[in-house]
Amino acid sequence: MAERQRDDHQENAARKDFFARVWEVVARIPPGRVTTYGHIAEYLGTRSAARTVGWALNAAAGSDLPCHRVVNRRGELTGRMHFEGPFVMEERLRSEGVTFTEDGRVDLSRHLWIPGQDEDDPGRSDQDGTTTRRTG
């Protein structure tokens, strides 16, 4: 019994540590940019943990973290139901200048931020107000 409790405690501690690491990455996403659950998971060394990244964001509901800047790999706002209303996530992104494709997805070709790759180049604003990112 004591061994089972110790295992449960270790598992909970590991989950809390992973959640805290997710929150650290999310806090660094620049305004006007988005990243994906999978990019966060990969950056943290566990590519298959994209769903757990989502759980970490759900646990951060009501915090000051910019959770609205995390979308799925297709640019869809799959987390939108965890905000104050179904359109809050989109409204926050649009207020930061994020654009969407005709089918309602975030234009990842313009706004994708990849942790660890774009850290020193959060995007520069061109004269027309668009954000460009460095490739390669």
**68 Cβ contact partners less than 8 Å away, ≥ 6 residues apart:** 79, 83, 88, 89, 92, 93
CA-based torsion, 26, 28, 32, 38: positive or negative? negative
67, 75 contact by CB (below 8 A) = no
Does residue 75 carry a catalytic annotation? no
Q: Catalytic pick from 22, 56, 65, 67?
A: 67
CB atoms within 10 A of CB 122: 15
**116 Cβ contact partners less than 8 Å away, ≥ 6 residues apart:** 43
Sole residue written with tokens 């915090």: 63
Active-site residue list: 67
